[in-house]
Structure 1
Amino acid sequence: MRLTDQQLEQFNDLGYIFLPDVFSAEEVEALRAEAEAVYASPREEVWREKSGAARTAFAAHRYNEAFRILGAHPRLIEPVEQVFGEKLYMHQYKVNAKAAFDGEVWQWHQDYGTWARDDGMPEPRAMNISVFIDEVMPINGPLMIIPRSHRHGVLNAGHDLETTSYPLWTLDKQTVTDLVAEGGIVAPTGKPGAVLMFHGNLVHGSAGNITPYPRKIVYLTLNSVSNYIRTPTRKEWIAHQDFAPIECVADDALLQFARQRAAGQHAAE
Protein backbone atom coordinates (compact mmCIF):
# COMPACT_ATOMS: atom_id res chain seq x y z
CA MET A 1 0.00 0.00 0.00
CA ARG A 2 1.43 3.35 -1.04
CA LEU A 3 0.48 6.83 0.08
CA THR A 4 -0.55 9.45 -2.43
CA ASP A 5 1.34 12.71 -2.87
CA GLN A 6 -1.57 14.48 -1.16
CA GLN A 7 -1.35 12.15 1.84
CA LEU A 8 2.40 12.69 2.11
CA GLU A 9 1.86 16.44 2.03
CA GLN A 10 -0.74 16.13 4.80
CA PHE A 11 1.66 14.10 6.91
CA ASN A 12 4.39 16.71 6.54
CA ASP A 13 1.97 19.57 7.25
CA LEU A 14 -0.26 18.20 10.02
CA GLY A 15 1.90 15.38 11.36
CA TYR A 16 -0.62 12.58 10.84
CA ILE A 17 -2.68 10.63 8.31
CA PHE A 18 -5.94 8.80 9.03
CA LEU A 19 -6.90 5.88 6.79
CA PRO A 20 -10.45 4.69 7.57
CA ASP A 21 -10.68 1.28 5.83
CA VAL A 22 -7.40 -0.63 5.83
CA PHE A 23 -8.33 -3.99 7.38
CA SER A 24 -11.53 -5.95 6.87
CA ALA A 25 -14.03 -6.92 9.55
CA GLU A 26 -12.94 -10.55 9.18
CA GLU A 27 -9.30 -9.67 9.82
CA VAL A 28 -10.08 -7.41 12.76
CA GLU A 29 -12.41 -9.92 14.42
CA ALA A 30 -9.48 -12.35 14.72
CA LEU A 31 -7.22 -9.64 16.14
CA ARG A 32 -9.85 -8.66 18.71
CA ALA A 33 -10.21 -12.23 19.96
CA GLU A 34 -6.44 -12.72 20.07
CA ALA A 35 -6.05 -9.48 22.03
CA GLU A 36 -8.42 -10.72 24.71
CA ALA A 37 -6.43 -13.96 24.96
CA VAL A 38 -3.21 -11.98 25.36
CA TYR A 39 -4.71 -9.76 28.08
CA ALA A 40 -5.87 -12.84 29.99
CA SER A 41 -2.37 -14.31 30.09
CA PRO A 42 -0.06 -13.89 33.11
CA ARG A 43 2.89 -12.69 31.01
CA GLU A 44 5.08 -9.91 32.39
CA GLU A 45 4.66 -8.05 29.10
CA VAL A 46 0.99 -7.38 29.96
CA TRP A 47 0.96 -4.11 31.90
CA ARG A 48 -2.14 -3.48 34.03
CA GLU A 49 -4.01 -0.47 35.35
CA LYS A 50 -4.09 0.11 39.08
CA SER A 51 -7.53 -1.55 38.98
CA GLY A 52 -6.02 -4.71 37.53
CA ALA A 53 -7.53 -4.25 34.06
CA ALA A 54 -5.13 -4.67 31.17
CA ARG A 55 -3.56 -1.39 30.06
CA THR A 56 -1.18 -2.58 27.35
CA ALA A 57 0.47 -5.75 26.11
CA PHE A 58 4.04 -5.23 24.95
CA ALA A 59 5.77 -7.27 22.25
CA ALA A 60 2.69 -9.32 21.35
CA HIS A 61 4.20 -9.98 17.91
CA ARG A 62 6.74 -12.24 19.62
CA TYR A 63 4.32 -14.63 21.27
CA ASN A 64 1.09 -14.38 19.25
CA GLU A 65 0.79 -15.41 15.61
CA ALA A 66 -1.93 -12.92 14.64
CA PHE A 67 0.09 -10.00 15.97
CA ARG A 68 3.26 -11.36 14.37
CA ILE A 69 1.50 -11.20 11.01
CA LEU A 70 0.14 -7.72 11.71
CA GLY A 71 3.62 -6.51 12.65
CA ALA A 72 4.92 -7.41 9.22
CA HIS A 73 1.86 -6.50 7.19
CA PRO A 74 2.57 -4.59 3.97
CA ARG A 75 -0.40 -2.27 4.51
CA LEU A 76 1.43 -0.94 7.58
CA ILE A 77 5.10 -1.33 6.70
CA GLU A 78 5.16 -0.03 3.14
CA PRO A 79 3.70 3.45 3.85
CA VAL A 80 6.29 4.09 6.59
CA GLU A 81 9.11 2.83 4.36
CA GLN A 82 7.80 5.31 1.80
CA VAL A 83 8.00 8.20 4.30
CA PHE A 84 11.50 7.41 5.57
CA GLY A 85 12.96 6.00 2.36
CA GLU A 86 14.56 2.96 3.99
CA LYS A 87 13.84 -0.37 5.66
CA LEU A 88 12.37 -0.50 9.15
CA TYR A 89 12.70 -2.52 12.30
CA MET A 90 10.24 -2.89 15.18
CA HIS A 91 11.25 -0.57 18.02
CA GLN A 92 8.16 -1.22 20.12
CA TYR A 93 4.86 -3.08 19.80
CA LYS A 94 1.84 -2.44 22.02
CA VAL A 95 -1.74 -3.68 22.13
CA ASN A 96 -3.36 -0.90 24.17
CA ALA A 97 -6.56 -1.87 25.93
CA LYS A 98 -8.42 1.23 27.26
CA ALA A 99 -10.78 -1.16 29.04
CA ALA A 100 -14.47 -0.41 29.45
CA PHE A 101 -15.02 1.61 32.67
CA ASP A 102 -11.38 1.06 33.80
CA GLY A 103 -9.21 2.47 30.99
CA GLU A 104 -7.09 5.26 32.45
CA VAL A 105 -5.71 8.45 30.94
CA TRP A 106 -2.61 8.70 28.76
CA GLN A 107 -1.16 12.11 29.60
CA TRP A 108 -0.12 14.64 26.95
CA HIS A 109 3.25 13.59 25.57
CA GLN A 110 5.49 13.09 22.55
CA ASP A 111 6.65 9.58 21.71
CA TYR A 112 10.03 10.60 20.36
CA GLY A 113 10.77 12.41 23.62
CA THR A 114 10.64 9.05 25.36
CA TRP A 115 12.52 7.22 22.63
CA ALA A 116 15.31 9.80 22.78
CA ARG A 117 15.55 10.08 26.59
CA ASP A 118 15.03 6.44 27.55
CA ASP A 119 16.35 4.56 24.53
CA GLY A 120 18.97 6.78 22.92
CA MET A 121 17.22 7.08 19.55
CA PRO A 122 19.27 9.60 17.52
CA GLU A 123 16.55 11.23 15.38
CA PRO A 124 12.74 11.22 15.04
CA ARG A 125 12.94 8.85 12.09
CA ALA A 126 10.41 6.54 13.74
CA MET A 127 6.67 6.75 14.06
CA ASN A 128 3.65 5.02 15.49
CA ILE A 129 1.19 3.44 13.12
CA SER A 130 -1.96 2.30 14.87
CA VAL A 131 -4.75 -0.11 14.01
CA PHE A 132 -8.23 0.28 15.54
CA ILE A 133 -9.36 -3.10 16.88
CA ASP A 134 -12.59 -1.78 18.43
CA GLU A 135 -14.68 1.12 17.23
CA VAL A 136 -13.10 4.34 18.43
CA MET A 137 -15.79 6.83 19.37
CA PRO A 138 -15.76 10.37 20.79
CA ILE A 139 -16.95 8.92 24.11
CA ASN A 140 -14.59 5.98 24.80
CA GLY A 141 -11.25 7.67 25.18
CA PRO A 142 -10.08 8.33 21.61
CA LEU A 143 -6.54 9.41 20.95
CA MET A 144 -6.39 13.21 20.83
CA ILE A 145 -3.68 14.83 18.73
CA ILE A 146 -2.52 18.42 18.30
CA PRO A 147 -2.00 19.06 14.56
CA ARG A 148 1.33 20.61 13.54
CA SER A 149 2.79 20.20 17.05
CA HIS A 150 5.52 18.00 15.53
CA ARG A 151 7.05 21.14 14.02
CA HIS A 152 8.26 22.26 17.47
CA GLY A 153 10.76 19.44 17.82
CA VAL A 154 11.37 17.81 21.19
CA LEU A 155 9.67 19.79 23.95
CA ASN A 156 10.61 20.00 27.63
CA ALA A 157 8.91 17.26 29.63
CA GLY A 158 8.72 15.90 33.15
CA HIS A 159 8.85 12.22 34.08
CA ASP A 160 5.44 11.35 35.56
CA LEU A 161 5.78 8.21 37.70
CA GLU A 162 2.57 8.57 39.70
CA THR A 163 -0.53 9.42 37.62
CA THR A 164 -0.97 5.94 36.11
CA SER A 165 0.72 2.55 36.25
CA TYR A 166 2.85 3.50 33.24
CA PRO A 167 5.73 6.03 33.59
CA LEU A 168 5.61 8.74 30.91
CA TRP A 169 7.49 11.90 29.91
CA THR A 170 4.64 14.41 30.00
CA LEU A 171 4.11 18.03 28.96
CA ASP A 172 2.96 20.78 31.32
CA LYS A 173 -0.40 22.50 31.02
CA GLN A 174 0.95 25.76 29.65
CA THR A 175 2.85 24.04 26.86
CA VAL A 176 -0.26 22.09 25.85
CA THR A 177 -2.41 25.23 26.05
CA ASP A 178 -0.04 27.12 23.74
CA LEU A 179 0.13 24.26 21.24
CA VAL A 180 -3.66 23.88 21.17
CA ALA A 181 -4.08 27.63 20.62
CA GLU A 182 -1.94 27.20 17.52
CA GLY A 183 -3.13 23.86 16.13
CA GLY A 184 -6.34 22.86 17.89
CA ILE A 185 -7.19 19.29 18.90
CA VAL A 186 -8.31 16.47 16.62
CA ALA A 187 -9.60 13.08 17.83
CA PRO A 188 -9.71 10.62 14.91
CA THR A 189 -12.59 8.17 15.31
CA GLY A 190 -13.69 5.28 13.18
CA LYS A 191 -14.60 1.66 12.72
CA PRO A 192 -12.38 -1.31 13.50
CA GLY A 193 -9.78 -1.72 10.78
CA ALA A 194 -8.95 1.99 10.49
CA VAL A 195 -5.31 3.07 10.69
CA LEU A 196 -3.74 6.23 12.08
CA MET A 197 -0.10 7.05 11.44
CA PHE A 198 1.57 10.00 13.13
CA HIS A 199 4.94 11.72 13.51
CA GLY A 200 7.08 10.81 16.52
CA ASN A 201 7.01 14.42 17.78
CA LEU A 202 3.26 14.93 17.40
CA VAL A 203 1.81 15.77 20.83
CA HIS A 204 -1.04 13.45 21.82
CA GLY A 205 -2.90 11.92 24.76
CA SER A 206 -6.24 10.39 25.68
CA ALA A 207 -8.81 10.68 28.45
CA GLY A 208 -10.00 7.78 30.57
CA ASN A 209 -12.77 5.47 29.40
CA ILE A 210 -15.81 5.43 31.70
CA THR A 211 -18.15 3.92 29.10
CA PRO A 212 -19.17 0.27 28.57
CA TYR A 213 -17.32 0.34 25.23
CA PRO A 214 -13.71 -0.93 25.16
CA ARG A 215 -11.20 0.80 22.88
CA LYS A 216 -8.40 -1.51 21.77
CA ILE A 217 -5.71 -0.10 19.47
CA VAL A 218 -2.53 -1.80 18.28
CA TYR A 219 0.54 0.42 18.00
CA LEU A 220 3.54 -0.50 15.88
CA THR A 221 6.53 1.73 16.53
CA LEU A 222 8.53 1.46 13.34
CA ASN A 223 12.06 2.84 13.29
CA SER A 224 14.43 3.36 10.38
CA VAL A 225 17.20 0.76 10.49
CA SER A 226 19.90 3.46 10.37
CA ASN A 227 18.30 5.15 13.39
CA TYR A 228 18.61 2.18 15.78
CA ILE A 229 18.70 2.98 19.50
CA ARG A 230 22.13 3.57 21.03
CA THR A 231 21.66 3.60 24.82
CA PRO A 232 18.60 1.54 25.84
CA THR A 233 17.57 1.72 29.50
CA ARG A 234 14.26 -0.15 29.36
CA LYS A 235 13.57 -3.86 29.19
CA GLU A 236 14.18 -5.39 25.79
CA TRP A 237 10.53 -6.34 25.37
CA ILE A 238 9.66 -2.65 25.74
CA ALA A 239 12.42 -1.17 23.56
CA HIS A 240 13.59 -3.89 21.20
CA GLN A 241 17.24 -4.39 20.32
CA ASP A 242 16.74 -6.65 17.32
CA PHE A 243 17.46 -4.22 14.51
CA ALA A 244 16.89 -6.66 11.64
CA PRO A 245 14.78 -5.14 8.84
CA ILE A 246 11.15 -6.25 8.74
CA GLU A 247 10.31 -8.51 5.81
CA CYS A 248 6.65 -8.17 4.86
CA VAL A 249 4.25 -11.08 4.83
CA ALA A 250 1.80 -11.61 1.98
CA ASP A 251 -1.07 -9.15 1.86
CA ASP A 252 -3.62 -11.91 2.53
CA ALA A 253 -1.67 -13.50 5.42
CA LEU A 254 -3.88 -12.05 8.15
CA LEU A 255 -7.05 -12.96 6.27
CA GLN A 256 -5.83 -16.54 5.88
CA PHE A 257 -5.04 -16.69 9.60
CA ALA A 258 -8.51 -15.39 10.43
CA ARG A 259 -10.19 -18.00 8.23
CA GLN A 260 -8.08 -20.86 9.58
CA ARG A 261 -8.85 -19.72 13.11
CA ALA A 262 -12.58 -19.58 12.40
CA ALA A 263 -12.48 -23.00 10.75
CA GLY A 264 -10.69 -24.46 13.75
CA GLN A 265 -13.28 -23.06 16.13
CA HIS A 266 -16.11 -24.37 13.96
CA ALA A 267 -14.56 -27.85 13.88
CA ALA A 268 -14.21 -27.85 17.67
CA GLU A 269 -17.91 -27.14 18.20
Structure 2
Amino acid sequence: MKTEYEYGPGFQATDDMRSAFEEFGYIIIRGILDSEEITKLRRSIEDNEELMKNSFELSDGEEGKSRACVWSHPGNDVAGLVVRSQKVAGTCEKLMGGEVYHYHSKLMMKEARTGGKFVWHQDYGYWYKNGCLTPDLMSVMIAIDKCEKANGCLQVLEKSHKRGRIEHLRVGGQTGADIERVEFIKKICSLKYVELQPGDALFFHSNLLHNSSANTSDDRRWVLIPAYNRRSNNPAFEHHHPQYTKLDIVPDDAVKSCTTYVDNIGKEYMDPDTDKTIVKLNPDQQP
Protein backbone atom coordinates (compact mmCIF):
# COMPACT_ATOMS: atom_id res chain seq x y z
CA MET A 1 0.00 0.00 0.00
CA LYS A 2 1.52 3.32 -1.05
CA THR A 3 1.37 6.64 0.78
CA GLU A 4 2.46 8.92 -2.08
CA TYR A 5 0.29 10.03 -5.00
CA GLU A 6 0.59 12.47 -7.91
CA TYR A 7 -1.90 15.22 -8.67
CA GLY A 8 -2.90 15.35 -12.33
CA PRO A 9 -5.77 16.00 -14.76
CA GLY A 10 -9.05 14.57 -13.53
CA PHE A 11 -7.69 14.09 -10.00
CA GLN A 12 -10.07 12.63 -7.45
CA ALA A 13 -9.40 11.24 -4.01
CA THR A 14 -9.78 7.46 -4.10
CA ASP A 15 -10.65 4.59 -1.80
CA ASP A 16 -6.99 3.54 -1.96
CA MET A 17 -5.97 6.94 -0.60
CA ARG A 18 -8.46 6.63 2.24
CA SER A 19 -7.22 3.12 3.06
CA ALA A 20 -3.61 4.35 3.16
CA PHE A 21 -4.61 7.32 5.33
CA GLU A 22 -6.40 5.02 7.76
CA GLU A 23 -3.47 2.58 7.85
CA PHE A 24 -0.49 4.97 8.05
CA GLY A 25 -2.08 8.15 9.39
CA TYR A 26 -1.07 10.25 6.38
CA ILE A 27 -0.72 10.48 2.63
CA ILE A 28 1.37 12.78 0.43
CA ILE A 29 0.02 14.25 -2.81
CA ARG A 30 2.82 15.57 -4.99
CA GLY A 31 2.21 18.65 -7.11
CA ILE A 32 -1.23 19.47 -5.74
CA LEU A 33 -0.34 23.08 -6.61
CA ASP A 34 1.54 23.66 -9.86
CA SER A 35 4.18 26.36 -10.37
CA GLU A 36 1.63 29.03 -11.31
CA GLU A 37 -0.55 28.26 -8.29
CA ILE A 38 2.34 28.15 -5.81
CA THR A 39 3.61 31.48 -7.15
CA LYS A 40 0.17 32.98 -6.60
CA LEU A 41 -0.08 31.47 -3.11
CA ARG A 42 3.35 32.81 -2.19
CA ARG A 43 2.32 36.30 -3.30
CA SER A 44 -0.99 36.04 -1.43
CA ILE A 45 0.87 35.24 1.78
CA GLU A 46 3.88 37.53 1.43
CA ASP A 47 1.84 40.60 0.38
CA ASN A 48 -0.59 40.26 3.30
CA GLU A 49 0.56 42.89 5.80
CA GLU A 50 -2.33 42.10 8.15
CA LEU A 51 -1.26 38.48 8.32
CA MET A 52 2.30 39.41 9.18
CA LYS A 53 1.12 41.96 11.76
CA ASN A 54 -0.87 39.22 13.50
CA SER A 55 1.99 36.69 13.53
CA PHE A 56 3.83 35.82 16.72
CA GLU A 57 7.07 34.11 17.74
CA LEU A 58 7.39 30.77 19.51
CA SER A 59 10.44 29.57 21.42
CA ASP A 60 11.57 25.97 21.14
CA GLY A 61 13.02 26.13 24.66
CA GLU A 62 16.57 26.25 23.37
CA GLU A 63 18.21 28.60 20.86
CA GLY A 64 15.61 28.61 18.13
CA LYS A 65 12.37 30.41 17.46
CA SER A 66 9.74 30.25 14.76
CA ARG A 67 6.92 32.55 13.72
CA ALA A 68 3.28 31.59 13.25
CA CYS A 69 -0.04 33.17 12.31
CA VAL A 70 -3.44 31.53 12.78
CA TRP A 71 -6.83 32.54 11.37
CA SER A 72 -10.33 31.10 11.76
CA HIS A 73 -11.95 31.39 8.32
CA PRO A 74 -10.32 30.83 4.92
CA GLY A 75 -11.60 33.92 3.11
CA ASN A 76 -11.86 34.69 -0.60
CA ASP A 77 -8.30 35.50 -1.64
CA VAL A 78 -5.88 33.10 -3.34
CA ALA A 79 -4.78 31.54 -0.04
CA GLY A 80 -8.41 31.07 0.97
CA LEU A 81 -9.36 29.41 -2.30
CA VAL A 82 -6.44 26.97 -1.99
CA VAL A 83 -7.82 25.95 1.41
CA ARG A 84 -11.39 25.73 0.03
CA SER A 85 -10.45 23.89 -3.18
CA GLN A 86 -11.89 20.49 -4.01
CA LYS A 87 -8.41 18.99 -4.27
CA VAL A 88 -7.61 20.03 -0.69
CA ALA A 89 -10.88 20.28 1.28
CA GLY A 90 -12.67 17.70 -0.87
CA THR A 91 -9.83 15.24 -0.40
CA CYS A 92 -10.13 15.75 3.36
CA GLU A 93 -13.82 14.85 3.17
CA LYS A 94 -12.93 11.63 1.34
CA LEU A 95 -10.22 10.74 3.84
CA MET A 96 -12.40 11.59 6.86
CA GLY A 97 -15.52 9.92 5.48
CA GLY A 98 -17.89 12.85 5.88
CA GLU A 99 -18.47 16.59 5.71
CA VAL A 100 -15.67 18.72 7.13
CA TYR A 101 -15.41 22.39 7.98
CA HIS A 102 -12.44 24.73 8.23
CA TYR A 103 -11.16 24.57 11.81
CA HIS A 104 -8.39 27.09 11.19
CA SER A 105 -5.41 27.85 8.94
CA LYS A 106 -1.86 28.44 10.08
CA LEU A 107 1.21 29.85 8.41
CA MET A 108 4.37 28.39 9.96
CA MET A 109 7.58 30.30 9.25
CA LYS A 110 11.02 28.84 9.97
CA GLU A 111 13.57 31.36 8.85
CA ALA A 112 17.02 30.41 7.60
CA ARG A 113 19.52 29.52 10.34
CA THR A 114 17.24 30.60 13.21
CA GLY A 115 14.03 28.60 12.76
CA GLY A 116 13.29 26.58 15.88
CA LYS A 117 12.44 22.95 16.31
CA PHE A 118 9.02 21.57 17.23
CA VAL A 119 8.76 18.83 19.81
CA TRP A 120 6.92 15.55 19.30
CA HIS A 121 3.19 16.13 19.55
CA GLN A 122 -0.23 15.19 18.24
CA ASP A 123 -2.51 17.96 17.03
CA TYR A 124 -5.32 16.30 18.94
CA GLY A 125 -3.19 16.75 22.05
CA TYR A 126 -4.09 20.43 21.65
CA TRP A 127 -7.57 20.12 20.16
CA TYR A 128 -8.78 17.68 22.83
CA LYS A 129 -8.53 20.62 25.22
CA ASN A 130 -10.77 22.67 22.91
CA GLY A 131 -13.81 20.45 23.42
CA CYS A 132 -13.34 18.26 20.32
CA LEU A 133 -14.69 14.99 21.68
CA THR A 134 -13.18 12.70 19.03
CA PRO A 135 -9.96 12.89 16.96
CA ASP A 136 -11.95 13.29 13.73
CA LEU A 137 -9.75 16.17 12.60
CA MET A 138 -6.85 16.44 10.19
CA SER A 139 -4.33 18.89 8.79
CA VAL A 140 -2.85 19.52 5.36
CA MET A 141 0.73 20.80 5.23
CA ILE A 142 1.18 22.62 1.89
CA ALA A 143 4.82 23.41 1.11
CA ILE A 144 5.34 27.03 0.09
CA ASP A 145 9.10 26.47 0.12
CA LYS A 146 11.00 23.22 -0.22
CA CYS A 147 10.97 21.17 2.97
CA GLU A 148 13.95 18.89 3.53
CA LYS A 149 16.02 17.53 6.39
CA ALA A 150 18.43 20.48 6.25
CA ASN A 151 15.75 23.12 6.87
CA GLY A 152 13.66 21.22 9.40
CA CYS A 153 11.08 19.21 7.45
CA LEU A 154 8.34 17.38 9.28
CA GLN A 155 9.07 13.96 10.77
CA VAL A 156 6.22 11.52 11.43
CA LEU A 157 5.88 8.19 13.18
CA GLU A 158 3.93 6.02 10.76
CA LYS A 159 0.79 4.39 12.22
CA SER A 160 1.23 6.24 15.54
CA HIS A 161 -2.30 7.63 15.17
CA LYS A 162 -3.49 4.16 16.19
CA ARG A 163 -1.90 4.52 19.66
CA GLY A 164 -4.57 6.90 20.96
CA ARG A 165 -4.21 10.32 22.48
CA ILE A 166 -1.08 10.87 24.57
CA GLU A 167 -0.80 13.24 27.51
CA HIS A 168 0.80 16.56 26.51
CA LEU A 169 2.96 18.82 28.67
CA ARG A 170 4.48 22.30 28.30
CA VAL A 171 7.91 22.37 26.61
CA GLY A 172 9.32 25.90 26.19
CA GLY A 173 6.64 27.84 24.31
CA GLN A 174 5.09 24.63 22.98
CA THR A 175 2.98 21.74 24.22
CA GLY A 176 4.55 18.35 23.59
CA ALA A 177 3.65 14.69 24.01
CA ASP A 178 4.88 12.74 27.04
CA ILE A 179 8.39 11.90 25.81
CA GLU A 180 8.59 8.58 27.67
CA ARG A 181 5.49 7.41 25.84
CA VAL A 182 6.89 8.69 22.55
CA GLU A 183 10.09 6.68 23.07
CA PHE A 184 8.05 3.50 23.50
CA ILE A 185 6.07 4.25 20.33
CA LYS A 186 9.28 4.90 18.36
CA LYS A 187 10.20 1.24 18.90
CA ILE A 188 7.14 0.02 16.98
CA CYS A 189 6.37 2.87 14.54
CA SER A 190 8.71 3.76 11.68
CA LEU A 191 10.14 7.27 11.46
CA LYS A 192 9.66 9.06 8.12
CA TYR A 193 11.15 12.39 7.04
CA VAL A 194 8.49 14.17 4.98
CA GLU A 195 10.50 16.00 2.33
CA LEU A 196 8.34 18.17 0.09
CA GLN A 197 8.82 20.39 -2.92
CA PRO A 198 6.81 23.62 -3.25
CA GLY A 199 3.25 22.64 -4.13
CA ASP A 200 3.39 19.19 -2.49
CA ALA A 201 0.94 18.46 0.34
CA LEU A 202 0.95 16.16 3.35
CA PHE A 203 -2.51 15.13 4.61
CA PHE A 204 -2.26 13.81 8.17
CA HIS A 205 -4.47 12.58 11.02
CA SER A 206 -4.81 14.60 14.22
CA ASN A 207 -3.38 11.75 16.33
CA LEU A 208 -0.29 11.20 14.16
CA LEU A 209 2.86 11.95 16.17
CA HIS A 210 5.10 14.46 14.40
CA ASN A 211 7.92 16.89 15.06
CA SER A 212 10.52 18.90 13.16
CA SER A 213 14.15 19.87 13.70
CA ALA A 214 15.57 23.37 13.76
CA ASN A 215 16.36 25.09 10.47
CA THR A 216 20.14 25.42 10.37
CA SER A 217 20.26 25.85 6.57
CA ASP A 218 20.43 28.97 4.41
CA ASP A 219 16.87 28.39 3.14
CA ARG A 220 13.68 29.45 4.86
CA ARG A 221 10.88 26.90 5.36
CA TRP A 222 7.36 28.32 5.12
CA VAL A 223 4.29 26.09 5.04
CA LEU A 224 0.54 26.72 4.97
CA ILE A 225 -1.39 24.32 7.21
CA PRO A 226 -5.19 24.36 7.04
CA ALA A 227 -6.91 22.13 9.60
CA TYR A 228 -10.34 20.53 9.12
CA ASN A 229 -12.86 19.10 11.57
CA ARG A 230 -15.73 16.70 10.90
CA ARG A 231 -19.11 18.39 11.12
CA SER A 232 -20.20 15.58 13.43
CA ASN A 233 -17.33 16.52 15.80
CA ASN A 234 -18.53 20.06 16.47
CA PRO A 235 -16.67 21.14 19.66
CA ALA A 236 -18.56 20.88 22.94
CA PHE A 237 -17.93 24.52 23.82
CA GLU A 238 -16.90 27.75 22.15
CA HIS A 239 -13.18 28.55 22.13
CA HIS A 240 -10.54 30.32 20.02
CA HIS A 241 -11.22 28.18 16.91
CA PRO A 242 -14.60 28.09 15.12
CA GLN A 243 -17.61 25.96 15.84
CA TYR A 244 -19.12 24.24 12.80
CA THR A 245 -19.31 26.68 9.88
CA LYS A 246 -20.44 25.47 6.46
CA LEU A 247 -17.43 25.34 4.13
CA ASP A 248 -17.97 26.56 0.57
CA ILE A 249 -15.75 24.19 -1.43
CA VAL A 250 -14.71 25.59 -4.82
CA PRO A 251 -13.53 23.88 -8.04
CA ASP A 252 -9.79 23.36 -8.44
CA ASP A 253 -9.52 25.93 -11.24
CA ALA A 254 -10.76 28.68 -8.89
CA VAL A 255 -7.20 29.23 -7.64
CA LYS A 256 -5.86 30.11 -11.10
CA SER A 257 -8.84 32.30 -11.97
CA CYS A 258 -8.67 34.26 -8.69
CA THR A 259 -7.23 37.77 -9.03
CA THR A 260 -7.70 38.75 -5.38
CA TYR A 261 -4.36 38.20 -3.71
CA VAL A 262 -5.15 39.72 -0.31
CA ASP A 263 -8.57 39.95 1.33
CA ASN A 264 -8.76 39.78 5.11
CA ILE A 265 -12.50 40.27 5.46
CA GLY A 266 -13.88 37.74 7.92
CA LYS A 267 -10.63 35.81 8.46
CA GLU A 268 -10.47 36.55 12.21
CA TYR A 269 -6.80 36.31 13.16
CA MET A 270 -6.17 34.52 16.43
CA ASP A 271 -4.77 36.26 19.49
CA PRO A 272 -2.23 33.73 20.83
CA ASP A 273 -3.07 34.78 24.39
CA THR A 274 -6.41 32.97 23.97
CA ASP A 275 -4.71 29.61 23.28
CA LYS A 276 -3.55 27.93 26.48
CA THR A 277 -1.46 25.33 24.60
CA ILE A 278 1.14 27.85 23.36
CA VAL A 279 3.22 30.64 24.88
CA LYS A 280 4.23 33.39 22.50
CA LEU A 281 7.70 34.91 22.76
CA ASN A 282 7.55 38.56 23.79
CA PRO A 283 9.82 40.96 21.85
CA ASP A 284 12.14 41.52 24.83
CA GLN A 285 12.50 37.80 25.59
CA GLN A 286 15.26 35.54 24.31
CA PRO A 287 14.58 31.87 23.62
TM-score (norm 2): 0.79
Q: Does 1:254 align with 2:249?
A: no
Among 43, 49, 56, the residue aligned to 1:47: 56
Among 16, 21, 32, the residue aligned to 2:42: 32
Q: Corresponding residue for 1:116?
A: 128
| TM-aligned CA deviation for residue 218 of structure 1 | 0.8
- Whether contact under 8 Å (1:2, 1:82) holds in the other structure is no
Q: Does 1:137 align with 2:148?
A: yes
Q: Does 1:127 align with 2:138?
A: yes
Output the CA distance in 2 between the equivalents of 1:33 and 1:43: 16
Query: Secondary structure of the equivalent of 1:35?
Result: helix
Output the CA distance in 2 between the equivalents of 1:255 and 1:60: 23
| TM-aligned CA deviation for residue 42 of structure 1 | 5.5
- Whether contact under 8 Å (2:116, 2:214) holds in the other structure is yes
| TM-aligned CA deviation for residue 257 of structure 1 | 2.6
Output the CA distance in 2 between the equivalents of 1:12 and 1:2: 17
- Stretches of structure 2 that go unaligned for 5 or more consecutive residues are 1-10, 262-287
Post-superposition CA distance 1:31-87 (Å, at most 9, x none) = 11222233785533x122459976111118556712221221111111111122322
Are the structure 2 counterparts of residues 11 and 257 from structure 1 closer, same or farther at C-alpha, using a change threshold of 3 Å?
same
Are the structure 2 counterparts of residues 102 and 61 from structure 1 closer, same or farther at C-alpha, using a change threshold of 3 Å?
farther
Output the CA distance in 1 between the equivalents of 2:161 and 2:134: 13
Identity of aligned residues (%): 25
- Whether contact under 8 Å (1:60, 1:95) holds in the other structure is no
- Whether contact under 8 Å (1:157, 1:172) holds in the other structure is yes
Alignment of 1:190-201 (within 5 A): 190-201=196-207
Output the CA distance in 1 between the equivalents of 2:127 and 2:224: 18
Q: Corresponding residue for 1:221?
A: 227
Output the CA distance in 2 between the equivalents of 1:103 and 1:64: 30
Output the CA distance in 2 between the equivalents of 1:42 and 1:218: 13
Output the CA distance in 2 between the equivalents of 1:111 and 1:41: 22
- Whether contact under 8 Å (1:17, 1:197) holds in the other structure is yes
Q: Corresponding residue for 2:8?
A: none
Q: Corresponding residue for 2:210?
A: 204
Output the CA distance in 1 between the equivalents of 2:210 and 2:66: 21
Post-superposition CA distance 1:3-37 (Å, at most 9, x none) = 23322221111111011111111110121122223
Output the CA distance in 1 between the equivalents of 2:197 and 2:52: 29
Output the CA distance in 2 between the equivalents of 1:73 and 1:42: 24
Among 73, 90, 106, the residue aligned to 1:94: 106
Output the CA distance in 2 between the equivalents of 1:42 and 1:83: 32
- Higher strand residue share: 2
- Give the aligned length: 248
- Give the counterpart letter for 1:3 in structure 2: A
- Give the counterpart letter for 2:255 in structure 1: L
Q: Corresponding residue for 1:265?
A: none
Among 7, 10, 13, the residue aligned to 1:3: 13
- Give the counterpart letter for 1:184 in structure 2: S
- Higher helix residue share: 1
Output the CA distance in 1 between the equivalents of 2:161 and 2:206: 7
- Give the counterpart letter for 2:69 in structure 1: A
- Whether contact under 8 Å (1:70, 1:254) holds in the other structure is yes
TM-score (norm 1): 0.84
Are the structure 2 counterparts of residues 154 and 53 from structure 1 closer, same or farther at C-alpha, using a change threshold of 3 Å?
closer
Are the structure 2 counterparts of residues 16 and 223 from structure 1 closer, same or farther at C-alpha, using a change threshold of 3 Å?
same
Output the CA distance in 2 between the equivalents of 1:113 and 1:17: 21
Query: Secondary structure of the equivalent of 2:93?
Result: helix
Post-superposition CA distance 1:113-149 (Å, at most 9, x none) = 11011x1001111100121111111211001100011
Output the CA distance in 1 between the equivalents of 2:21 and 2:64: 37
Output the CA distance in 2 between the equivalents of 1:247 and 1:183: 37
